[in-house]
Amino acid sequence: MGPQTRSGAAGSMLLSVVVPTLDEEAAIAAALAAARAELATGDELIVADGGSTDRTVAIARSCGALVVESVRGRGRQMNAGAAAAGGELLLFLHADTRLPAGWREGLESVLAAPEVCWGRFDIEFDQGGWLLQLIARLISARSRLFRSATGDQAIFVRSADFHAVGGYRHAHLFEDVDLARTLRARGRMGIPPGRAVTSARRWRNRGVWATTLRMWTLKTLYLCGVPVERLERHYGEER
């Protein structure tokens, strides 16, 4: 069972936050702290580790998280975390993403509508000038338009709906887009107020324009039916 930091409101759903990790010692403490600050009594904080060789696991445990060992692969790790979770609601949080203040109340607010079974947050980047912030806003706008989501947006879903669609696919690419596509058929997407803050390291490492062009091209090809196995060769290893 995860940390118990404050009492939940009457009628609140129990929540399990699942964080997939692989050598994230530089980022994991901040992500877990932002999540843990608003967990209610009975909520869970679960780290699904894919074989870290740095201090990720030790830091996660020191932050009060339950650590679940998993085969490497973000989809597999999140499924492993979900299998160990007891919450009625699952929130999948990347290790380099911090939830905004008030996120727990925001989830409860959007999920009060019975037709909403899943959702995600708008995002902003932790670094970068106007161009990266514009890209973040475009990512959020595209998500609203197409009712889709990426993992950086902290996808959340009712546990029953997550398991009903079979969870995450075990591919190394676009497992988040695939999950969003299956959840659209089950209910509306909710968007709580506030923006999650996610790392711009991918854009810094490979260049803003090159990364944006590569990512949007790959996603377009995927949505047009190109097999994910062919696309993985062009994605890179920074997962």
pLDDT at 19: 98
Q: What is the CATH superfamily name and number for domain 15-201?
A: Spore Coat Polysaccharide Biosynthesis Protein SpsA; Chain A (3.90.550.10)
- SS3 percent helix, strand, coil of the chain, rounded to 5, is 40, 20, 40
CA distance 85 to 1: 9
Buried b (16+ CB within 10 A) or exposed e, 43-69: bbbbbbbbebeeebbebbeebebbbbe
d(CA 208, CA 206): 7
Tell me what pLDDT residue 123 has: 95
- The confidence score (pLDDT) of residue 12 equals 76
pLDDT of res. 115: 93
Q: How far apart are CA 222 and CA 219, in angstroms?
A: 5
- The SS3 call for residue 128 is coil
Q: How many CA atoms lie within 13 A of 82 on its CB side?
A: 25
pTM for the full predicted model: 0.86
Distance CA 45, CA 15 (A): 9
> What's the Cα-to-Cα distance from 75 to each of 31, 78, 92, rounded to whole Å?
19, 5, 10
Q: Residue ranges of the domains in the chain?
A: 15-201
- The pLDDT, as a whole number, for residue 209 is 75
Distance, in Å, from the CA atom of 25 to the CA atom of 88, rounded to the nearest integer, reads: 29
Divide the 239 residues of the chain into consecutive groups of 10 and give the mean pLDDT of each group: 38 89 96 95 96 97 96 94 97 96 94 94 89 89 88 95 93 82 93 94 75 73 66 53
- CA atoms of 153 and 98, how far apart (whole Å): 10
Q: In what order do the strands lie in the sheet with 89-92?
A: 66-69, 44-49, 15-21, 89-92, 156-158, 116-119, 188-190
